[in-house]
């Protein structure tokens, strides 16, 4: 039987669209959500009744509930949830505007919880399902200039790890995906964004960060469709992996960070073990 997908963040040229197209290539059916559904109308027409585009701002809890209701009513349930919607802002830890920090957590973290909690009752009632939370390499390796973005993705990593164990007994698998640098539209806005940093000492650093993203735009090594196919292949494993890093540079960065962290922990084993009461 074909699976029924619910994918957030359906912006043309981004990962959401790649997930949708690869799921459709598998013979599945897709609900693709977007804040601007009119942009997807002509794309959806070619797939007929196998695709449903639904307007959704994932930060609006009422819209989330309604979108899930519409999806379940149309296809009879949701077998695969892909929490893909998200965005990154850059700025220093000291200087970034607090409202921007909170907005980033609302979109990248709390909205993921809202969608997941709306979809889980149906999955539990049917006794199975798959959840894919799109994190980032920045959720495993914090990025300078993107500290708060990294924090939102680290939070996704933590919640996903706990959720995986909580729902495993109900036939639901949970996969965290950590893409590196992929050729989507995610970097397109950096060319027109000026560094808004109130603390002069960080301005040059953040300008270097911005310039690096401008330079990478359009030449990122990652292919979103290959990435989506890798995720589908991982989902088919028995059991599926807990997480999947996507892309060569991302894989190397994560391995290097994990090995360094492990070396740091082991280097201070004596101090760590000295903190307990004497046995």
Beta bridge partners of 54: 33
Under a CB-based contact definition with an 8 Å cutoff, are residues 249 and 227 in contact? no
Token pair, residue 172, equals: 């639901």
Could you give the angle at the alpha carbon of 65 between the alpha carbons of 63 and 70, nearest 5°? 90
- Evaluate if residue 29 carries a pLDDT over 80: yes
- What pLDDT score was predicted for residue 102? 97
Domain boundaries, the chain: 4-270
In whole angstroms, give the CA distance from residue 180 to residue 251.
8
In whole angstroms, give the CA distance from residue 1 to residue 233.
17
Q: What is the pLDDT of residues 127-170, one digit of tens each?
A: 999 999 999 999 999 999 999 999 999 999 999 999 999 999 99
- What pLDDT score was predicted for residue 220? 84
Backbone region of residue 48 per phi and psi (left: phi > 0; alpha: psi in -120 to 50; beta: other values):
left
Structure-token match 């949708």, residue found: 20
CA distances for 140 relative to 46, 105, 134, 161, 177, angstroms? 38, 17, 12, 13, 11
Portion of the chain with pLDDT greater than 90, in percent: 85
Portion of the chain with pLDDT greater than 70, in percent: 100
Picking from 220, 226, 224, the residue whose alpha carbon sits closest to that of residue 249 is: 220
Q: Could you tell me the fold of the domain covering 4-270?
A: Rossmann fold (3.40.50)
Under a CB-based contact definition with an 8 Å cutoff, are residues 37 and 12 in contact? no
In whole angstroms, give the CA distance from residue 12 to residue 278.
60
Structure-token match 């980032």, residue found: 136
- Evaluate if residue 277 carries a pLDDT over 80: yes
Structure-token match 């962290």, residue found: 261
Quickly count: other Cβ atoms within 10 Å of residue 20's Cβ.
26
pTM, two decimal places: 0.95
- Evaluate if residue 218 carries a pLDDT over 90: no
Handedness of CA 177, 183, 188, 190 (dihedral sign): positive
Handedness of CA 120, 246, 185, 110 (dihedral sign): positive
Catalytic residue numbers read: 135, 149, 153
Query: Which pairs count as long-range contacts for 34-43, CB under 8 Å and 24+ apart, including other chains?
Result: 34/9, 34/10, 36/11, 37/10, 39/11, 39/12, 40/10, 40/12, 43/12, 43/17
H/E element, 29: strand 29-34
């Amino acid at each position: 039987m074909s699976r029924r997908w619910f994918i957030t963040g359906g912006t043309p040229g981004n990962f959401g669209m790649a997930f949708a197209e690869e799921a459709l290539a598998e013979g599945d059916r897709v609900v693709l959500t977007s804040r601007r559904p009119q942009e997807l109308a002509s794309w959806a027409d070619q797939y007929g009744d196998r695709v449903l585009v639904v307007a959704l701002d994932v930060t609006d809890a009422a819209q989330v509930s309604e979108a899930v209701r519409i999806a379940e009513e149309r296809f009879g349930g949701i077998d695969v949830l892909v929490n893909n919607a998200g965005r990154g802002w850059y700025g220093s830890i000291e200087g970034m505007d607090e409202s921007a920090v909170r907005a980033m957590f609302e979109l990248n973290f709390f909205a993921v919880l809202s969608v997941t909690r709306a979809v889980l009752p149906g999955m539990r009632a049917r006794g199975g399902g798959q959840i894919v939370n799109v994190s980032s390499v920045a959720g495993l390796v914090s990025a300078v200039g993107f500290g708060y973005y990294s924090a939102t993705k680290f939070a996704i990593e933590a919640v996903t790890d706990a959720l995986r164990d909580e729902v495993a007994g109900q036939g639901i698998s949970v996969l965290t995906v950590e893409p590196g640098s992929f050729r989507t539209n995610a970097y397109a806005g950096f060319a027109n964004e000026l560094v808004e940093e109130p603390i002069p000492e960080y301005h040059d650093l953040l300008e270097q960060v911005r310039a690096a993203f401008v330079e990478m735009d359009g030449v990122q090594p990652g292919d979103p469709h290959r990435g989506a196919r890798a995720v589908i292949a991982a989902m088919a494993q028995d059991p599926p992996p807990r997480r999947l890093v996507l892309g060569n540079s991302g894989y190397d960065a994560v391995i290097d960070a994990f090995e360094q962290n492990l070396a740091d922990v082991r280097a201070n084993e004596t101090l760590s073990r000295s903190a307990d009461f004497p046995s």
